[in-house]
Amino acid sequence: MPKEVVLIAAVTIDGFIARNNLEITSWSKDLHVFKKQTMGFPVIMGFNTKQTLYGHLKGRETIVINRGDSAKKVLKNIKTEKCFVIGGGKTNYLFASFLTHLYITPHPYVFGKGVFLFDGPIMKELKVKFTSLVEVDKKNGIFQYQYEVLRP
């Protein structure tokens, strides 16, 4: 089981990761940062997220889960020290209690409705501590905020 389970996501300033479940996210400006950070590590995603990718994520083991899968069982089969959860909202929700870090990149968009970062009621509030700020697109004010999830 990985020591670090990192949720990485581009979000709108009103908290959405997509307009709908099958949207190809062409609005995200942080793909170069995403690639650099996830390279060499397993990435966990739901079936719909897999359908929205432009192609295979080279250099990364892709783990596609279904709604009936157990997050704990999926994580137990991962042998690396770190893995990334890359969406969608239902997958993020499923893995919420196992997350150790959040890498969130707010983008200057307001959708008003769509797919929330966590598509479901989280059983326990996540308390986080800011750890780092990564420049994504300074000209447009886009930065990635990195947080550590605090566990009691």
The domain locations on the chain are 21-150
> What is the DSSP secondary structure assignment for residue 19, as one 8-state letter?
S
- Is pLDDT above 90 for 34? yes
**What average pLDDT does this structure show over 96-103?**
98
Give the pLDDT confidence of 115-134 residue by residue, as tens digits: 999 998 877 889 999 999 99
Tell me the residue length of the chain.
152
Check residue 56 and give its pLDDT.
Answer: 79
How far, rounded to the nearest angstrom, does the alpha carbon of residue 129 sit from its chain's CA centroid? 17
pLDDT tier at 55, thresholds 50, 70, 90:
confident
pLDDT tier at 79, thresholds 50, 70, 90:
very high
- Is pLDDT above 90 for 25? no
Percent of the chain with pLDDT over 90: 84
Q: Would you call 68 helix, strand, or coil by DSSP?
A: coil
Segment (H or E) for 64: strand 62-65
Check residue 127 and give its pLDDT.
Answer: 95
The pairing of beta strand 101-107 with beta strand 43-46: unpaired
What mean pLDDT value characterizes the chain? 95
Q: 117 with 19: CB under 8 angstroms? A: no
- Is pLDDT above 80 for 60? yes
**What average pLDDT does this structure show over 101-123?**
94
Check residue 59 and give its pLDDT.
Answer: 94
CATH label, 21-150, candidates 3.40.30.10, 3.90.79.10, 3.40.47.10, 3.40.430.10: 3.40.430.10
Check residue 133 and give its pLDDT.
Answer: 98
Query: What is the 3 state secondary structure string of 100-141?
Result: CEEEEEEECCCCCCCEECCCCCCCCCCEEEEEEEEEEEHHHC
**What average pLDDT does this structure show over 91-118?**
97
**What average pLDDT does this structure show over 3-16?**
98
